[in-house]
Structure 1
C-alpha cells in the first residue's frame, strides 16, 4: 500500500452510521456467504449438507443508506436477499471460532440485491458473476448497532416484507454456519481486517422486486431499513 498524503482527487471512504454515535464505520470490504440457510440452499437447487462455506464479494461502494433508489441498469429480474451483516473492528489470519468472536464490533441488517437474470446468464456461460452482485446501490444496509447492545441475537427473527407481505423469515439460529465459524473460515483464505463487513446468508423466500415495490427488512434487536426502487 502506497503511503502518500497527496491524491489526484479526493478519496471517498464508504461508511455506515453507528447507532447513538457521531462517528461512522469505515467500510473496507464486503464478504458474502453463499447459501447459509438450509431452505434457501434447497430453493436454489443445492444440497444443504454442512460443506465448507463459500464466499463472494460486493464492492464497498455498493453500500447505501437511502430509502429511494434508481432501478438498476441491465436487469428485468432484480431479486432481494435479506441478511444479517456483521461488522468487524479488528482482524487476523487462521483464526479459531473462539478468536473470531472477539473481532465483532456490531451488527446491521442489509439487502444483498442481485440482478438474477445477469447472474443466470453468467453461470450458464461459466463466466464470473461479479456484475450481478456488484452494481450501484446493490447493498442497502441499516445503521450498525454495537454488539454490546444486541441481546439474544441467535433467537432474533430476520424478515423481509414486500408491500406489506412477508416474503422471507428465519431465525439467526437457523444458519448452517455460525457467525464465529464464518469469520474463522474466511480468515483461513484472507487476512480479515477492521472495516470488513460480512453478509451471513439469507433465509428461503428469495424473489423478484419491481419498481415502486416497498421492501421492509428487519432483524430483531439489530435494526431495520425500508427501500423502494424507482
Structure 2
C-alpha cells in the first residue's frame, strides 16, 4: 500500500469512530505501531486536526471534511460492477437509491477515477422489472414490520393464500426468496418472489416475538446445517 493511501485510510478510520488506538490502526493497515506514530505526526504537521488522549487513542476534530475518496482502479471498477449488478436485480426505488449512491461516490473521487466506466453491465430485463415491483413493497413491509397477504403459485401450479410476517429477502444469483413467519403453518417459510401472484400489504404490524425473528431463523438454519438431526421446521414452497 502506498503511503498516500495509508494516510488517507488512517484519517477515514479515525474519523469513523470516537477513539482509535495506534494498535488498532496498525492491525487494520498491517503495519507497525511505529509507522502509525510517524504517519499521525505527518498528518498533524499537514494540518489534519488530529488529537490524542492517553488510554483512549486518536480522534478527529468533529466536522472536519475528509479529502476525496481514494480507491485503486481495481477497487473503483469492482465497486461500479457491484452497484450495476445490484441495480439490475433490485426494486425500482432501491435501484434509484443505488444510482444516487453511485453519483455521490463519483463526486467524491478524483477525476481520473470518475472517468472510468465499469467493464460489467447488468441491465434490468423485463422480467426483472416485473420482479422489482414486488421487491419494493416487500422491503418496506420488512422495514415497517407490516404483515402481508400473498397469493402464491408453487411448482405444481397449486395456489394458496398466506398471511406472512416478512422478515428478510435472500438473493440466490437467479432468484429472490422471501423468508417469513407463516400464520397458516405457524412456522418459518420460504417463498420464491417470482411465484407470488398477488401481494397485499396489510395495515397490521406483526409483534417482535422470541422465536419469530430473522435472527431466530438464521440461528435455526445454522443449527440445522451443523446438526442433520435437528428438528427445526422450515420448508420452501417450490
Q: Is the structural similarity TM-score above 0.5?
A: no
> Which is richer in helix?
2
Higher relative contact order (CA 8 A, sep 6+): 1
Q: TM-score, with normalisation over the residues of structure 1? A: 0.19
> Which is richer in strand?
1
Q: TM-score, with normalisation over the residues of structure 2? A: 0.18
